[in-house]
Amino acid sequence: MPPKKKPNEDYTLKVTSPDIGGRKARSSDKLTLVEKRQFLYVRIVRANGLPMNNMTGTCNPFVELRIGNYKGVTRCFEKTSNPEWNEVYAFTRDQLQGGRLEILVRDKESAINEIVGRLSFDLGHIPTRFPPDSPLAPQWYKLEDCNGVKIVGELMLAVWIGNQADDAFSVAWHSDAAAVSGKNVTKTRSNVYLSPVLWYLRVQVIAAHDLAPADRNRKPEAYVKAVLGNLVLRTTVSKDMNLNPAWNEEVMFVAAEPFDDPLVLSVEDKMGADKDVCLGRSVVPLHQLEKRLLPQPIGDQWITLQKYVSEGEEKREVKFAGRLHLRIFLDGVYHVFDEPTCYCSDLRATSPKLWPEKIGVLELGILKAEGLPPTKSKDGRGTTDAYCVAKYGQKWVRTSTIVDNYAPKWNEQYYWDVYDPYTVVTIGVFDNYHLQEGDKNGGKRDPRLGKVRIRLSTLETGKIYTHSYPLVVLQPNGLKKMGELHLAVKFSCDNWIDLFHTYSQPLLPMMHYLKPLSVYQLDSLRHQATYTLSLRLGRADPPLSREVVECMLDTGVSRWSLRRGKANCERVMACLSGIVFLWRLFDQIRHWKKPSITILIYSLFVVMVVSPKLMLSTFFLAFFVLGVWRFPKRPRHPPHMDTKLSHAETAQYDELDEEFDTFPTSKQGEALKTRYDRLRGIAGRLMIMIGDLATQLERIHALVSWRDPRATTMFLIFCLIACVLAHQVQFRYFVLVTWTYAMRPPRLRVGIPSIPQNFLRRLPAKTDSML
C-alpha cells in the first residue's frame, strides 16, 4: 500500500511578490533581493573607573541591555574595574515595544547583581547609519545612578540604527536568539565559509630496490601501503617475489590545503593472513611535493626507506632499508569532485592557471520560511530553531538561526562569482539542535527540513525570480512537506561573448578527456573529498556539522532506490515520446488517414528530392519555426523538486524502507527475502530486454558472418545487384521510388510484414548457444 497522501498538501512552486529593492535600488545598495529590516545596534566596547564593592573591595562587572521585553547580557569579568567586552547586540526594530534603551552596569559579586551605573537612550534620538558609510565611532558616556546623577565610572559604546548590510550584523548577538546564552550564542550567527583547496595526490609506485627481508628463508610478498590521515590505501602484492619488486600501480588521495598530515609510505611483507611486517617506511611532507599546474608530465624520483628496530627499551634507526621508485605529485589539472556530477556547482580545475574567465554574478536572497513543523520539545512544547545553508562553488553561507519560530525571517543576501552557467546552487533548511546544552535533545544531528536546487542555465539573465519553494523531505514513512522557503534569485552577466563561448567549451578540464579517471576512482575520491570537507567545516565557528555537509553534497545519490529507478525509466520514455509521436503521425500519413495531408507531404518530399539542396535548409527551418512557436510557451519559473516526477507520492512502504536501509543491509528474514525476490523480478525483465536487443544486433552482424550460408549468399547477391543498379540509376530516383512505395495507398497494402523484416527475423543469433 502506498503511504496516505495528506489531502491539502501543495507541492507546487508559487510566485511571490516581496517588497525588495530590485532594479530600483541604488548602485551602492547591497540589499537588492531582500526586504530591508532595521536593527538597533549597540556596541559595548569597555568601561573605565568602575567603583569597587564596599563589602568585598572588588568589582565583577557585566552589562545588561534592556528594551521592551528583550534583554541582552555581556560576559562577566572578575576583579577588574576596567573591563573590555567588544560585543555587539542587535535588536529587531519592528519587534521592539519600548521607546527607550536602558544600559545597566552590574556587579555580579553581590547577591542581587547590584547596579553600578546606568545609561538611557531615547530611540527617537538614535542616529541611522546607511552602508557603505563608515562605522559609527564609540564614545565615552558618564554613568548615572537611579536618579540621573552622574557618578564615578564611564562606559564606551556606540548606538545606531542599521540594516542587514551593516558590518556588525554577522558578529552581533540578535534578539531573535534571546533565549540562547553563553557559548551557544556563536552557533546562532550567520557566517561565510570557504572550502579548502582540494588537490588530487597521485602516488604512482613503480618499484623498490635493495629491500632488507624480514625472513631470509622465504621470498618476500611485498606491497606498498600509503597512509594519509585516517585513510589507508594499498597496492597489490608484487609478482616479483624478490628484494627488487615492481608494481607499476597508482593510488590516489584527496589532500586539502593547508597540508597538515604528511604522507606515510611503507613497504610491507605479507607474512600471513593477519601478519604484515614493515620492511621500510618514509614520511613525505605534502608541502614539499611538486604541484602540476599545467598539463605536462612530472618526473619520477627515488626516496630512501628507513626502518626502526627495537633493542630493549630503546629504538635504533636503521639509516638505510631500501629505496622506493615512484612518481608522486599534487595534481591540479583535474577538477576535484565533491558533489555528484549532475549537481555540480563548480567545474573548474584546482590550478588557477586553468580557470576560465568570470562570466557573471549570482545573487541569492534568502527571505523567509513558512509553515515549519516542530522538530523538538522544550519546556513541554514543540519548537524549531531554523537556519539555512547555501552552497555554490567553494563558498558556503549560513544564515543566522531564528530561535523558536515556525515562520522565521532571515532577509539575508549573498553573492557568488559565476564561471559556468551549467552549475547548480543548493539551499538547505535545517533545525539547530546544538543550542540548549544539557537538554535531552542535545548532541543529536541537525535534522533536514528541506532542500532546493536551482540550475543557473534555466534562469534568464538579469531577471529577478521570487518564488516560494516547497520544502519536502522523503522519510521512511512517506513524503512529508516541512514548509515553504521564499527565495529571490538573480543571475547577472558581465560579458555576453564569454557567456556564449562557454557553451562551446568542454564541461570539465581538458585532462578529464585526455586521461580520464575511472568511474570507481571518481566515486572513491568524491567520498574522500566529502569526508575532508566535513572535517574542515566542522572546525569552523559556528561549525557546519557533518550531516549538513553530507546533505548539501548529496552523498546518498548513488544509493539504490526502486522509486528513482521507476522515475528514470519514465524520463527515458518521455524523451522518446516525441519519436513515437512522429512515427504514429507518419503511419497515419502513409495509410492515407487524411488524403489531403498525405498528398501535401508526398509533394513536398518530391520537391526536395528533385532539388536536394532544399533538404538541409528545410530541416533547419523546421527546427527554427518549432523554437519560435514554442517561445511564448517557454518556462517562466525555475525548476523545483517535483514529487510526481520522483514517484515520491506513490512510493510503497517497503520501497522506502529499502531505500533508507543501511549498506550493508540491516534487515533479516522475510523482509530481505521479499526484496531479493522483487529485485530478481526486475532484473529478469531487464535481462529479457537486453537479450532481445542483443539478438537484433547479432542478426544484423549475421548478414556477412556466413552463420546461415544461404542467407549470406542471398544478401551478397542482393548487394551486387544493388551496386549495379545504384551505378546506373541516380540516387534521387532511388529515394523517390522508396518514398513512393512507403506512401502507397491502403488498397495496395498487405497486412503482413515486409520482405526485409521477414528476412532479418530469419537470421540466426547466439541465443541458441545460451545455456
Is 9 domain-assigned?
A: no
SS (H, E, C) 228-257: ECCEEEECCCCCCCCCCCEEEEEEEEEEEC
How does strand 173-174 pair with strand 84-92?
parallel
CB 71 within 8 A of CB 80: no
Report the b/e string of 346-373 with b at 16+ CB within 10 A. Answer: bbbbbbeebeeeebbebbbbbbbbeebe
Rounded Cα–Cα distance for residues 571 and 562 (Å): 14
492 and 630, same structural domain? no
The pLDDT of 428-454, averaged and rounded, is 78
413 and 376, same structural domain? yes
279 and 145, same structural domain? no
205 and 146, same structural domain? no
Rounded Cα–Cα distance for residues 374 and 405 (Å): 9
In sequence order, which residues have a C-beta less than 8 Å from that of residue 498 and are 6 or more positions away? 356, 357, 358, 359
Is 193 domain-assigned?
A: no
From the CB of residue 122, how many other CB atoms can be counted at a distance below 10 Å?
Answer: 9
Domain count, the chain: 4
Instruction: Residue 102: give the domain boundaries.
Output: 38-162
Q: E strand or H helix at 728, and its extent?
A: helix 709-728
Note the pLDDT tens digit of each residue in 521-570. 999 999 999 999 999 999 888 889 999 999 999 888 877 788 888 888 88
323 band by pLDDT with thresholds 50, 70 and 90: very high
Q: E strand or H helix at 585, and its extent?
A: helix 562-590
438 band by pLDDT with thresholds 50, 70 and 90: very low
- Cell numbers at 114, concatenated: 547590584
Q: Quick check: 3 pLDDT over 70?
A: no
Q: Quick check: 440 pLDDT over 60?
A: no
CB 68 within 8 A of CB 94: no
64 and 207, same structural domain? no
Residue where one domain finishes, among candidates 331, 357, 385? 331
734 and 595, same structural domain? yes
Is 53 domain-assigned?
A: yes
Mean pLDDT across the chain: 85
- The strand ranges marked E within 419-560 are 424-431, 448-455, 464-475, 478-493
395 and 268, same structural domain? no
Rounded Cα–Cα distance for residues 470 and 451 (Å): 9
395 band by pLDDT with thresholds 50, 70 and 90: very high
What are the residues facing 304 on neighbouring strands?
A: 323
- Cell numbers at 136, concatenated: 559609527
Residue 319's CATH number: 2.60.40.150
Q: Quick check: 315 pLDDT over 60?
A: no
Q: E strand or H helix at 114, and its extent?
A: strand 114-122
Note the pLDDT tens digit of each residue in 239-290. 988 889 999 999 999 999 999 899 999 999 888 777 888 888 899 999 999 9
528 and 623, same structural domain? no
Is 189 domain-assigned?
A: no
Note the pLDDT tens digit of each residue in 647-700. 888 888 777 877 777 777 777 778 778 877 777 787 778 788 888 888 888 888
Is 571 domain-assigned?
A: yes
In sequence order, which residues have a C-beta less than 8 Å from that of residue 300 and are 6 or more positions away? 204, 206, 325, 326, 327
pTM of the model: 0.83
In the chain, the percentage of residues whose pLDDT exceeds 70 is 94
The pLDDT of 11-29, averaged and rounded, is 74
CB 167 within 8 A of CB 129: no
Is 70 domain-assigned?
A: yes
Rounded Cα–Cα distance for residues 537 and 550 (Å): 11
Three-class SS state of 532: helix
Is 770 domain-assigned?
A: no
From the CB of residue 114, how many other CB atoms can be counted at a distance below 10 Å?
Answer: 13
Is 190 domain-assigned?
A: no
